[in-house]
């Protein structure tokens, strides 16, 4: 593999957790809820996803099935994130508390909860949580046939990724289709743009907001699990996945609330995140590289607001609680 191929390959791998985080948050934000708790939900997803696979293997022993481990990890991570999003939804939709404060609180809570669960698993299992190499393969190697993987150039470029890369792309494409082409997607966007309009048209605003936020939180949390199970090598460490959730929030803005654009955005962000490993320049510290994704987001924000395109704006009621009585 030459350097460029390797960079692309690693960019995609590193971008995948972000892709899940972003697509989930896009769904949430399309309902008008700005959930800044992505970081927390991803932490919970990471810890619970690892836990799901780890305890499953502990119970099943030698007979553990890779497929089942992957499915269990996805399910546990999803439920963890969905639970966090449910708390957020109850506080912001039902109690109508401030979304920013609640989201930040969820980030702090989720980070703590994830750390707690991770550390608990680590200490109770003798200082090291990891799954067997056989199961690791299910998480970290490509599910596609060897014939495809071995095609020169195209193989590494398209077919050698782990299962989550393909899953992420499928979810993003489905989400894009749902938002643009389906009736329910149109209603969801109406809720996020103008809840009063949606309400007067007979759309159940509360239900849409709850469902989108909980589902979105679950999808975001899968991203946390993907990080732990692929990039971090199926091991819980102290650092966890610091910063991934915030990058996902930035990526939502970068991709202008479009799931399909998020696929390309996540690859770009993934590349920017690992650039310091691949392209070392003298006198430029790693930290400079690490702020690149945020710098790019700021630049995109400046350009979109300068262009003043009405199609490329955040959902109009993003961050606002909806009171029916105020209409």
Partner 1 sequence: MESVHAIELRHITKRFGKVVANDSIDLTLDRGEILSLLGENGSGKTTLMNMLSGIYFPDEGEILVGGKPVSIRSPKDAFDHGIGMIHQHFKLVNVFTAAENIALGLPGSGRLDRKAIAAKVREISDRYGFGIDPNKKVYDMSVSEKQTVEIVKVLYRGADILILDEPTAVLTPQETDRLFRILRTMREDGKAIVIITHKLHEVMALSDKVAVLRKGKYIGTVKTSETSPQALTDMMVGHSVTLNIDRPLPVDPTPRLEVQGLTCLDAEGVKKLDGVSFTAMGGEILGIAGIAGSGQRELLEAIAGLYPVAEGSILYSPDGKPPVNLVGKPPMEIKKAGVAMAFVPEDRLGMGLVGGMGMTGNMMLRSWRKGKGVFVNRKDPNALALEVKERLEVVTPSVEFPVRRLSGGNVQKVLVGREIASSPTVLMSAYAVRGLDINTSYTIYNLMTEQKMKGVAVIYVGEDLDVLLELCDRILVLCGGQVSGVVDARSVTKEEVGLLMTRVGGGKEDAIHE
- In the complex, the residues that contact partner 1 under the rule CB under 8 A are 181-187, 189-190, 193-194, 196-203, 310-311, 313, 316, 327
Looking at the Cβ atoms of 257 and 269, the one nearer to partner 1 is: 257
**Element spanning 269, H or E:** helix 259-278
HSE at residue 239, side-chain half, CA atoms within 13 A, is 8
Residue 239 or 311: which CB sits closer to partner 1? Answer: 311
| Per-residue exposure over 147-162, b if at least 16 CB sit within 10 Å of its own CB, e if not | eebeeeeebbbbbbbb
Least Å distance, CB 242 to partner 1, is 35
- Altogether, the residues listed in the chain come to a count of 327
Phi-psi region of 257 (alpha: psi -120 to 50; beta: other; left: phi over 0): left
Rounded to a whole number of angstroms, the minimum distance from the CB of residue 254 to partner 1 is 19
Output the smallest distance, CB 199 to partner 1, in A: 8
Q: How crowded is the C-beta side of 119, counted as CA atoms within 13 Å?
A: 8
Of the pair 198, 222, the CB lying nearest partner 1 is at 198
The Cα–Cα gap between 86 and 97 comes to 14
Q: How far is the CB of 177 from partner 1 (least distance, A)?
A: 10
Cβ nearer to partner 1, comparing 185 with 243: 185
Q: Of the two residues 239 and 326, which places its CB atom closer to partner 1 in the complex?
A: 326
Q: Residue 306's Cα: distance from chain center in Å?
A: 28
Please report how close the Cβ of residue 316 comes to partner 1 at its closest, in angstroms.
7
């Amino acid at each position: 593999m030459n350097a460029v191929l390797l960079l692309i390959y690693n960019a995609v791998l590193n971008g995948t957790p972000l892709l899940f985080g972003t697509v989930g948050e896009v769904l949430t934000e399309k309902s008008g809820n700005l959930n800044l708790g992505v970081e927390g939900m991803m932490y919970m997803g990471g810890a619970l996803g690892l836990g799901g696979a780890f305890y499953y293997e502990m119970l099943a022993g030698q007979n553990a099935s890779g497929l089942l481990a992957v499915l269990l990890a996805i399910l546990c991570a999803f439920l963890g994130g969905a639970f966090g999003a449910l708390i957020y939804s109850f506080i912001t939709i039902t109690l109508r508390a401030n979304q920013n404060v609640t989201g930040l609180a969820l980030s702090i809570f989720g980070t703590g909860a994830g750390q707690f669960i991770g550390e608990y698993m680590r200490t109770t299992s003798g200082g090291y949580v990891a799954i067997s190499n056989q199961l690791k393969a299910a998480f970290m190697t490509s599910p596609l046939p060897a014939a495809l993987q071995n095609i020169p150039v195209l193989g590494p470029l398209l077919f050698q990724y782990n299962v989550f890369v393909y899953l992420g792309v499928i979810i993003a494409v489905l989400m894009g289709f749902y938002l643009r082409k389906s009736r329910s997607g149109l209603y969801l966007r109406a809720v996020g743009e103008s809840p009063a309009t949606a309400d007067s048209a007979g759309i159940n605003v509360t239900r849409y907001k709850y469902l989108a936020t909980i589902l979105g939180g679950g999808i975001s949390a899968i991203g946390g699990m993907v990080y732990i199970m692929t990039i971090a090598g199926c091991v819980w460490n102290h650092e966890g996945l610091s910063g991934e959730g915030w990058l996902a929030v930035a990526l939502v803005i970068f991709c202008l609330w479009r799931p399909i654009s998020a696929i390309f955005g996540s690859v770009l962000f993934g590349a920017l995140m690992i650039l310091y490993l691949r392209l070392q320049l003298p006198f430029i510290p790693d930290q400079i590289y690490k702020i690149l994704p945020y710098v790019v987001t700021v630049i995109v924000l400046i350009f979109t607001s300068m262009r003043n395109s009405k199609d490329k704006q955040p959902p109009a009621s993003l961050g606002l609680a909806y009171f029916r009585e105020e209409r």
